[in-house]
Homo-oligomer: A and B are copies of this chain.
Amino acid sequence: MKKFINEIDTLYTESLEGFAKAHADIITLNADPYFISRTASTRKDKVAIISGGGSGHEPLHSGFVGKGMLDAACPGQIFTSPTPDQMLAAAQEVATDAGVLFIVKNYAGDVMNFEIAAEMLECPNTSVLIDDDVSLPKTHSTGRRGVAGTLIVEKIVGAAAENGADLATCKALAERVNSNTASMGVALSSCTVPALGQPTFDISEQEMEMGVGIHGERGHETMPLATATEIVKIIAKAIEADLKPKKGQSALLHINGLGATPLMEQYLIYDLAEKFWQQRGIKITRSLVGNYTTSLDMAGVSITLTLLDDEMTQLWDAPVHTPHLRWGC
């Protein structure tokens, strides 16, 4: 295993300390237990938006703490849920009279730990589960996974909270964005988890993993390597089957690099996906291309489509100033 580290056990803290120093103008690292919160204080009547999850997906979630998006994020160890005490400490730090909304990706550990933290938190709070990954059916025993669509929910709900929306409104909006968002990923290589020291799975030069998540697991199907056009067609059709967009519908198209895929290839995927939707009468009115929800050093991309209404578009466009997503301020 080749990585830029000192010891496997210190990667997590050394990386967080570097992140905190590099972005001290926006975020603050709180230790014991670890969480990231905004450096600037916010209004007392603003709903606090908190997310978190295992590390290894950077910039998600810590990179999205700041004005217009998250109030705090809890990073777990690599591909491991943060602990309830991290979530509780973060919530106690940023909670306001307006309450706390937890944005939780649908994984058993995250769900359980956020539930424990929510129960211990003595202020109004609620949670929303993100499950945008359409590579698994909704009827799957543990439900669908939360992947790159999480960022879209965090951005839109973060803007609403900044504008003064109350807790129930924020929760309903988060659920609306989630149900209008569908994602699916494909990988050309496995990632290497430091503690494991080798790729999570083997894959030949002629194969790809279709329907991968973001934890280095295999996809739901190992397929022969196909052209970019064919890959986009497979993914976009799965998204279409889930969201059933109508002609004339506006949408946000997000191409997400999983770690080792050059921007050149990501933009090529964007071009093909945009054409796919255009041919079906869907108007791509907003876009996001780059490494936002990663899986360490995995070569792969995911495609996310969010069907937009006017309110969601306005909230997407609203000012955001975080370490890794910025516009309008």
Q: Is the CB of A262 within 8 A of B58?
A: yes
Within the complex, the shortest CB–CB distance from A323 to chain B, in Å, comes to 9
Residue on B with the closest CB to A205? B2
9 contacts between A and B (CB under 8 A): A3-B265, A5-B228, A6-B227, A6-B228, A12-B264, A15-B271, A17-B271, A22-B267, A58-B267
Within the complex, the shortest CB–CB distance from A60 to chain B, in Å, comes to 10
Interface size range on A against B: 35 or more
Q: Is the CB of B265 within 8 A of A4?
A: yes
The stretch of A119-127, A158-166, A292-300 in contact with B is A292-300
Q: Contacting A297 at CB < 8 Å: which of B16, B262, B272, B294?
A: B262
Q: Is the CB of B270 within 8 A of A56?
A: no
Chain B residues with CB under 8 A of A272: 14, 18
Interface: A19 (CB within 8 A): yes
Interface: A291 (CB within 8 A): yes
Residue on B with the closest CB to A227? B6
How far apart sit A301 and B321, CA to CA, in the bound complex (Å)?
26
Within the complex, the shortest CB–CB distance from A14 to chain B, in Å, comes to 5
Binary per-residue interface labels of chain A (1-33) against chain B in the complex, 1 for a CB within 8 Å, 0 otherwise: 111111000011011111101110000000000
Decide: A18 near B268, CB < 8 A? Known: A4-B228, A4-B231, A6-B229. Answer: yes
Copy total for this chain: 2
Decide: A208 near B14, CB < 8 A? Known: A262-B297, A263-B59, A271-B21. Answer: no
Within the complex, the shortest CB–CB distance from A174 to chain B, in Å, comes to 25
How far apart sit A294 and B189, CA to CA, in the bound complex (Å)?
19
**Which of A1, A11, A263 has the most chain B CB atoms inside 10 A of its CB?**
A263
Q: Contacting A262 at CB < 8 Å: which of B12, B259, B263?
A: B259
Q: Is the CB of A5 within 8 A of B291?
A: no
Q: Is the CB of A261 within 8 A of B4?
A: yes
Q: Contacting A294 at CB < 8 Å: which of B63, B263, B288?
A: B263
Chain B residues with CB under 8 A of A4: 188, 228, 231, 261, 265-266, 268-269, 301
Chain B residues with CB under 8 A of A14: 228, 268, 271-272
Q: Contacting A326 at CB < 8 Å: which of B5, B262, B297, B327?
A: B327
How far apart sit A155 and B56, CA to CA, in the bound complex (Å)?
30
Residue on B with the closest CB to A263? B58
Q: Is the CB of B228 within 8 A of A22?
A: no
